[in-house]
Amino acid sequence: MKIGIIGLGLIGGSLALDLTNLGYHVIGVSRQLKTCNQAIERSIVSQASTEFDILAQTEVIFICTPIGSILITLERIIKHLPPDVIITDVGSVKGSIVPQATELWANFVGAHPMAGTANQGIEAVEANLFKNAPCVITPLENTSTKNVERVKNIWHEVGCKIYETTPEIHDRAVAWISHLPVMISANLINSCINHENQEVVNMAKKLASSGFKDTSRVGGGNPELGLMMAQYNKEQLLNSLKEYQQNLSLIINDIETEKWENLEHLLTKTNQERPNFL
Ligand code: NAP
């Protein structure tokens, strides 16, 4: 089977590499010619081009461009394709993509592999990036179940654990476990550096160790990706931020009023619950 991948960066390139290693004929399209050449030289794909017409012979196409380019890319490729081609994506938000994409192309299936690193572009491509990672498929009521199964099978072949839900539940869930943590972590770093006493800030920088490394990691990542999470999952992210703000006020109140038993109860509960997320 010939598979097309558009956007040969971290996610698209890593998927292309795994599929090539599994024996698929993978055809890549990327914005820059040098990325296409590198993808061929490193045997990430069998063929690559900056032109979409190379995808005419493919059966399934993965759009792996940044979130803001997914719908534009879809609009641009469909004129090159026969109507039975399955088009899917890997975007980190689904509600602002899947309904519009399905209007444009009936054989569209939304998906989101929950794998990644802090790196970007073709240099960041890794074999087996998706092994044991969750991959969520987000069909609409009118999405063909046959197409959903084909997309699920491909993600299963590269090692993903497959889940299925609606675009809305997906966006609400990832707001809590992915997009909110980026904002909290960014706010943590920003609050530390903005503190009025420079001597304290300087000492904090020297003393920061494993705890700060863990809690600041996602806030110190790719700014473009964080911005797109906020722009394209605005409503759900705001809901989570406001609920988080209310819960933070309760913690502040418990500390101010020395309700230590409340704080102990909370910390015991979070200690017990954390493994259920990981
Ligand atoms: P990335 O490493 O920056 O790769 C995207 C690549 O797409 C770029 O390297 C660029 O390649 C190419 N590109 C950009 N615009 C394009 C266009 N209009 N047409 C064709 N190619 C284009 O980004 P990524 O982390 O792989 O993210 C890609 C998608 O995966 C996003 O939708 C994101 O939401 C999703 N995702 C990301 C993660 C993560 O943790 N990073 C996890 C899950 C899903 P050249 O300019 O070099 O040609």
Q: Burial code of 187-225, b = ≥16 C-beta within 10 A, e = fewer?
A: eeeeeeeeeeeeeeeeeeeeeeeeeeeeebebbebbeeb
Q: Which helix (H) or strand (E) holds 186?
A: helix 180-194
Q: Determine the pLDDT at residue 116.
A: 85
Beta strand pairing call for 111-113 and 134-137: antiparallel
| pLDDT level of residue 44 (50, 70, 90 thresholds) | very high
| pLDDT (tens digit per residue) in 141-185 | 999 999 999 999 999 999 999 999 999 999 999 999 999 999 999
For a mutational test of ligand 1's pocket, the pick from 6, 10, 32, i.e. the residue with the most ligand atoms closer than 8 A to its C-beta, is: 10
**Ligand 1 contacts CB of residue 221 (under 6 A):** no
Given a cut of 80, whether residue 277 has pLDDT beyond it is: yes
For the ranges 87-96, 99-108, 187-196, 214-223, the lowest mean pLDDT is seen at: 214-223
Residue nearest to atom 35 of ligand 1 (CA): 91
Q: Determine the pLDDT at residue 92.
A: 93
| pLDDT level of residue 96 (50, 70, 90 thresholds) | very high
- 151 phi and psi angles, rounded to 5 deg: -70, -45
| pLDDT (tens digit per residue) in 57-78 | 999 999 999 999 999 999 999 9
For residues 121 and 9, is the Cβ–Cβ distance under 8 A? yes
Q: Determine the pLDDT at residue 107.
A: 98
Q: Burial code of 242-270, b = ≥16 C-beta within 10 A, e = fewer?
A: eeeeeeeeeeeebeeeeeeeeeeeeeeee
User: Considering Cα of 117, then 119, then 120, then 126, what sign does the dihedral take?
Assistant: negative
For a mutational test of ligand 1's pocket, the pick from 77, 90, 125, 158, i.e. the residue with the most ligand atoms closer than 8 A to its C-beta, is: 90
Specify the amino acid at residue 274: R
Average pLDDT value for residue range 267-273: 98
Specify the amino acid at residue 14: S
Given a cut of 90, whether residue 118 has pLDDT beyond it is: no
Specify the amino acid at residue 136: V
Using DSSP's 3-state secondary structure scheme, residue 278 falls into: coil
Distance CA 85, CA 57 (A): 9
Q: Determine the pLDDT at residue 278.
A: 87
Is 0.75 surpassed by the pTM of this model? yes
Full set of structural domains in the chain with CATH: 2-165 (3.40.50.720), 169-277 (1.10.3660.10)
Q: Determine the pLDDT at residue 221.
A: 86
**Ligand 1 contacts CB of residue 35 (under 6 A):** yes
The rounded percent of the chain whose pLDDT value lies above 90 is 95
If you measure from the C-alpha of residue 62 to the centroid of ligand 1, how many angstroms do you get, rounded to a whole number? 11
What average pLDDT does the chain have? 96
